[in-house]
Structure 1
Amino acid sequence: MFSALLQSVSLTQRALLVSLLLCCVPASALELTGIPNSHDPATLMKDGDTYFHFTTGGGVWYSRSTDLTDWGNPGTIFGSGWPSWINDAVPGFEGEFWAPDAIQMGDYFYVYYSVSTFGSSRSAIGVVRTPSLKNPNWQDLGMVVQSYGGSDEINAIDAALFRDHDGRVYMSYGSWFGGLGVAEINQSTGKLASGVTKIYGGGHQSIEAPYITRNGDYYYLFFTRGKCCQGSNSTYKVQVARSTSVFGPYTDERNLLPNEDGKRKGPGHIGILKQDGCNFTTTHYYDLNDGGTAKLDIQMMTFSGGWPSMTHNFNNIMDCGGTSEGLYQIQSRRSGKSLEIEYADTENGGNVVQYDFNNGLHQQWYVIDQGTGNYSLINALSLKSMDVWGVSTSAGANIAQYDYLGGDGQRWQFNSVTGNYVEIESELSGMLLDVYGNSTENQANIVQWDRTGRSNQHWTMIRQY
């Protein structure tokens, strides 16, 4: 009944309905079962119907779940061996890979991993990729960044990846020694696309495990302070600071998760899964009721007054009245054809048309939740934004691609339509994406138009992973 109600109302009405219904639904902490062991967990990734949880362990260890609650079916990326480049980069490495993180870019899932030895800044971050997590074919791409043991270097561990509103991907990393850094990632190679910018810490402060996310106009830098790896004696706690730039400065540091909360001691290593408008947030903690064993924890993050807060009190796999972040095929209800950039153009002004789907990246779009009810739609080939051409508010204005500038003509809302379809509404004009002339032909132009209720304004969002 809840799902049916959500499909019949607009996004704004949907969010209000969710909040009204959830106020009457008893919520409780999510109790994980199966194999919940974890230390420095990666952001949860979903491939089809399965979630993947990568964490510190031999061979880059991971487990799987279909409901976020029961975890099992473990595996490793490298088995008992490791890539040969590691032997030169980190002498003495013994196979324990630290603090992985995962992201999907283009046709691949990428997993970033750390190699080091305890207490040393002679470290490296590597990356491996596969076209599928459910049926993996891992290809190691080698080193992404390295530190050489200097006392003031940014230690090359604890990588964390995130995609900004403009489609760019950034990696933050670091610990103690020289503090925390961030760099842009080349989405074709998985390697650095820019130099590293120091953003926080340094001078051997007890700081590590950064993670950046964006909500509205602010970037939020999460990190841990204290000491890990001491079970029930861990002094870890999770802090947060914010900035209007991904490169900082990050200010007004405040505590997000205290060192101890009931049975949970020493939380650390934030990751955020943005699904159905919710922020499912992962950390590890040391279980005081189980001898200080490190376990996975999943909480819900919300934002109020410009700052995040966390709660264990939510129901399993909620729908918060939004669209999950991810890579999508956007298919016309009227024609069954998909939105693409005509001729796979990568330049500004490339036209958005409909065409038979052939699995090209120019036919796929990153949907990026801005945390405000609006979304970016970034083409997976060009990494440019879907745009109302000329900042027009007129019916019939063309839809094209352009570098993301953050204007209202590049912000979109999804309104539910009966039958699991959506309308895609421009924040600028309030008009809808429309197949011009109600056409069913390949290369028919996409424009904005007043709401008609016809099927050429209805779209199916088909997630590609």
Structure 2
Amino acid sequence: MSAQPLARGLKLLRTLPVICLFLLSGAVSALELTGLKNSHDPATIIKDGDTYFHFTTGNGIWYSTSTNLVHWTAGPSTVFGSGWPSWINNAVPGFAGHFWAPDIIQMNGYYYLYYSVSTFGSSTSAIGVVRTASLKNPSWQDLGVVVQSYGGSSEINAIDPALFRDHDGRVYMSYGSFFGGLGVAEINQSTGKLLGSVNHIYGGNHQSIEAPYITRNGDYYYLFMNRGSCCQGSNSSYYITVARSSNVFGPYTGERTVLSNQSGKYKGPGHVGVLKQDGCNYVSTHYYDLNDNGNAKLDILRMTYSGGWPSLTRNFSSITSCGGVSDGVYSFTARHSNRALAVDNASTANGANIEQYGYSGAKNQQWYVISQGTGYYSLINVNSLKSVDVWEVSTAPGANIAQWDYWGGAGQKWSLTNNGGYYVLTSQLSGLALDVLNFSTANDANVVQWNVTNGTNQQWTMTRR
């Protein structure tokens, strides 16, 4: 595929009143991606260190990289090279190396990349998973099949995996297409495989539906999906809709269109992925470029919520901060002691103390930071998958901080306020800050909540892991 710049500016405005209206409203042009923009069914964009990675459909699983989300460069090689795991030959006879619609998530100290193997128009399909500890210096290990479909006309077709992490730290995979519709199942974060059964959530009876993606904002789960038909370039009838539910397993209702089939040169958008970056929501999709012979390219849009529903726009011209923190894996280091926020003795038990300890890279010193879309975040320990929690729902200064199963209480929701490059973590329940008791610099010193003083024992460096 060739790569042409995205369109700049607004369409020609023909009347002076309309021109004045746009000038007064501060209208802006679409974000202009540069470099190599080829993409079809893009995975959720993910970051490793200072580099973003965009995986997409292609032989061997193709990918590109960027340091700013704008300029993209081809990766040095594909994930599988010219071969593929041997189990695929039995699962999908006739597979020829063209992997579909990958998606990726960071968990358990690795990046897990899920991928589809199938043949066009068939429900004899499988989703596999491969992992690596680093995307910048990858060493891929294939873990085999995650879920299969066997050719039945009413089966959930095992293609188009999409992963997301809920507020409680649990991970879910949605997938599916024509035939039996869309399904979702929880993922075991130690193995990368299914933890429980697959739940049918939408579609079926050969409806034109595929490429589900679930994200959460506040109290609602949002199920994005493709409608129409793909893979026809300028003739693609794809468009994107969304429905919502108060439960990850549905029912999802109120389906509405969020990206129509065509807007200017953007034709047949498909395959939503959500990147929560600096408090903003960015959505990646592909589109067929009507100004470039219908070639498929990467598109990045901004998403906001209003009245309980998302909307997408191309009317922004740069990647900026929305005044928040990016979702991801972090360590927190106390400014006064240079020691890390940790779960005592790497315990996985409810009630285990949160303390400070010299950073070693252990999982009990790493935390999933998960935006709730409300200005508050979950802090879920990577080792135990339990939440930072104010002990016994106390609002008193000096109350202990421990870990507990996430239940969504105000004592498990935290604001993260940037104070000159250091963060103050404040409980929604009490308005009090995470505090190293008595300014201790010792290992095992207890962490409590205390009145906000902005002391160095309440200031934490956040380091992306």
TM-score range, shorter chain: over 0.9
| Counterpart Cα distance in 2 of 1:446 and 1:173 | 41
Partner of 1:335: 337
Q: Describe the SS at the equivalent of 1:36.
A: coil
Partner of 2:424: 423
Cα deviation, residue 351, structure 1? 0.5
Q: Are the aligned partners of 1:277 and 1:321 in contact in 2 as well (CA < 8 Å)? A: yes
Cα deviation, residue 454, structure 1? 1.2
Partner of 2:213: 211
| Equivalent runs, 1:435-446 vs 2, <5 Å | 435-446=436-447
Cα deviation, residue 315, structure 1? 3.2
| Counterpart Cα distance in 1 of 2:197 and 2:316 | 40
Partner of 1:69: 70
| Equivalent runs, 1:347-362 vs 2, <5 Å | 347-362=349-364
Cα deviation, residue 453, structure 1? 2.4
TM-score between both structures, scaled by the size of structure 2:
0.94
Q: Are the aligned partners of 2:424 and 2:454 in contact in 1 as well (CA < 8 Å)? A: no
Q: Describe the SS at the equivalent of 1:167.
A: coil
Partner of 2:400: 398
Q: Are the aligned partners of 2:183 and 2:202 in contact in 1 as well (CA < 8 Å)? A: yes
Q: Describe the SS at the equivalent of 2:154.
A: coil
Instruction: Give the gaps of 5 or more residues in structure 2.
Output: 1-23
| Counterpart Cα distance in 1 of 2:266 and 2:202 | 27
Amino acid at match of 2:371: D
> Looking at both structures, which has the greater relative contact order when contacts are Cα pairs under 8 Å and sequence separation is at least 6?
1
- Offset from partner CA, 1:130-166 (integer Å, 9 cap, x none): 0000000000000000000000000000000000000
Amino acid at match of 2:190: S
| Equivalent runs, 1:195-210 vs 2, <5 Å | 195-210=197-212
Matched, 1:389 2:356: no
Amino acid at match of 2:62: W
- Percent of aligned positions with the same letter in both sequences? 68
Q: Are the aligned partners of 1:38 and 1:56 in contact in 2 as well (CA < 8 Å)? A: yes
Q: Describe the SS at the equivalent of 1:357.
A: coil
Partner of 2:123: 121
| Counterpart Cα distance in 1 of 2:325 and 2:108 | 19
| Counterpart Cα distance in 1 of 2:339 and 2:423 | 15
Cα deviation, residue 73, structure 1? 2.8
Cα deviation, residue 331, structure 1? 0.4
Partner of 1:6: none
| Counterpart Cα distance in 2 of 1:62 and 1:458 | 38
Q: Describe the SS at the equivalent of 2:272.
A: strand
Q: Describe the SS at the equivalent of 2:457.
A: helix
Change (3 A) 1:52 1:447: same
| Counterpart Cα distance in 1 of 2:135 and 2:27 | 34
- Offset from partner CA, 1:315-364 (integer Å, 9 cap, x none): 32210000000000000001000000001000100100000001100000
Q: Are the aligned partners of 1:68 and 1:316 in contact in 2 as well (CA < 8 Å)? A: no
Partner of 2:6: none
| Equivalent runs, 1:185-196 vs 2, <5 Å | 185-196=187-198
TM-score between both structures, scaled by the size of structure 1:
0.94
Partner of 1:308: 310
| Counterpart Cα distance in 1 of 2:26 and 2:234 | 34
| Counterpart Cα distance in 2 of 1:456 and 1:220 | 39
| Counterpart Cα distance in 2 of 1:312 and 1:384 | 37
Amino acid at match of 2:395: T
| Counterpart Cα distance in 2 of 1:375 and 1:46 | 19
Change (3 A) 1:177 1:328: same
User: What number of residue pairs does the alignment pair up?
Assistant: 441
Moved more, 314-323 or 385-394: 314-323
Q: Describe the SS at the equivalent of 1:29.
A: coil
Q: Describe the SS at the equivalent of 1:343.
A: helix
- Offset from partner CA, 1:184-212 (integer Å, 9 cap, x none): 00111100001000000000000000000
| Counterpart Cα distance in 2 of 1:349 and 1:317 | 40
Matched, 1:317 2:319: yes
Root-mean-square deviation over aligned CA pairs: 1.0
Equivalent residue for 1:111, pick from 110, 113, 117: 113
| Counterpart Cα distance in 1 of 2:277 and 2:396 | 33
Partner of 1:19: none
| Counterpart Cα distance in 1 of 2:327 and 2:108 | 14
Cα deviation, residue 24, structure 1? 9.3
Q: Are the aligned partners of 1:55 and 1:98 in contact in 2 as well (CA < 8 Å)? A: yes
Partner of 1:8: none
Q: Are the aligned partners of 1:272 and 1:281 in contact in 2 as well (CA < 8 Å)? A: yes
Amino acid at match of 1:348: N
Partner of 2:265: 263
| Equivalent runs, 1:246-285 vs 2, <5 Å | 246-285=248-287
Instruction: Give the gaps of 5 or more residues in structure 1.
Output: 1-22
| Counterpart Cα distance in 2 of 1:438 and 1:27 | 49
- Offset from partner CA, 1:55-91 (integer Å, 9 cap, x none): 0000011011111111113331001110000000000
